[in-house]
Amino acid sequence: MSDARAAPLPAHNPLSRAQRAGVAIAPLLIRALYSTWRVRVVNDEPLRALRAEGRGFLFALWHGQLLPLLAHHRDQGVRVLISEHRDGEIIARIAESLGFRTVRGSTTRGGARALLAMCDALERGEEIAVTPDGPRGPAHVFAPGTLVAAQRAGVSVLPVAVAVSSAWRLGSWDAFMIPKPFARLTIAYGDPLMVSAPGAREAATEAPRFADALERTVSTAERAAGGSATGAS
């Protein structure tokens, strides 16, 4: 999840001592923060139904909401698509410490290997979380790579969003959200969507439909939270 202008690096990039220390501490801080949050889940029937079927599927979430949704889905064996750049290496190691597995690469840049790995995992019945406006935006613009993977593997895309009563926002392109201690989180799931296009090229044209579905899921979370939460960037 890094800048499109940056030169890609191979997976498992060496980290500095300070970065390694941050990677070691971050999962502990995230788990500690999560223990203080008051979490409410709404409309999780689609998630439970997909898991009961035992088929693979894709979670779709906006990049700015990644941290609280990672914290909520920790230790569930979900895979996360993460780029091979320096910042992606840090995120990957933190995610793995939270019980996630990773697919390294991008659906938009040098993505052939990542796409194949995603399709293989989905066909084995695994779950993969993707931020379709990553790795560096524009925010809330649904890039088509997620839909290509869903079309090729024949799986559903499940929108998921969170609304938060109080959070810090980074000055990044996605206004990255860090819920404050004791914040109220409302997590909502949308209805699973299938790509109707017959081929990968046509799948890309369906991006606006999936973006609308994800935005509706954000609105669902905000309404359930009482309209005072900060679900959208």
Q: Delimit the domains of the chain by residue range.
A: 39-224
Other C-beta atoms lying within 10 Å of the C-beta of residue 196:
10
Other C-beta atoms lying within 10 Å of the C-beta of residue 141:
12
**If pLDDT is split at 50, 70 and 90, which confidence band does 2 have?**
very low
Alpha carbons 33 and 56: distance in angstroms, whole number: 30
Q: What is the mean pLDDT of residues 5-28?
A: 72
Q: What is the mean pLDDT of residues 94-99?
A: 95
| Pairing assessment for the beta strands 127-130 and 57-60 based on DSSP bridges | parallel
**If pLDDT is split at 50, 70 and 90, which confidence band does 8 have?**
very low
Strands (E), the chain: 38-42, 57-60, 79-82, 101-104, 127-130, 156-164, 167-169, 177-179, 184-189
Q: What are the phi and psi torsion angles at 157 (to 5°)?
A: -110, 125
Q: What are the phi and psi torsion angles at 39 (to 5°)?
A: -105, 130
User: What's the pLDDT score for residue 16?
Assistant: 87
The pLDDT of residue 136 is above 90 = no
Closest CA to 153 of 177, 130, 186, 179: 130
More confident residue, 124 or 84: 124
The pLDDT of residue 230 is above 80 = no
Q: Does domain 39-224 have CATH number 1.20.1260.10?
A: no
Q: What is the mean pLDDT of residues 187-199?
A: 96
The pLDDT of residue 77 is above 70 = yes
The pLDDT of residue 149 is above 80 = yes
Closest CA to 42 of 232, 218, 182, 166: 218
User: What's the pLDDT score for residue 109?
Assistant: 53
User: What's the pLDDT score for residue 229?
Assistant: 58
Model confidence, pTM: 0.88
Q: How far is CA 8 from the centre of its chain?
A: 21
Alpha carbons 33 and 202: distance in angstroms, whole number: 42
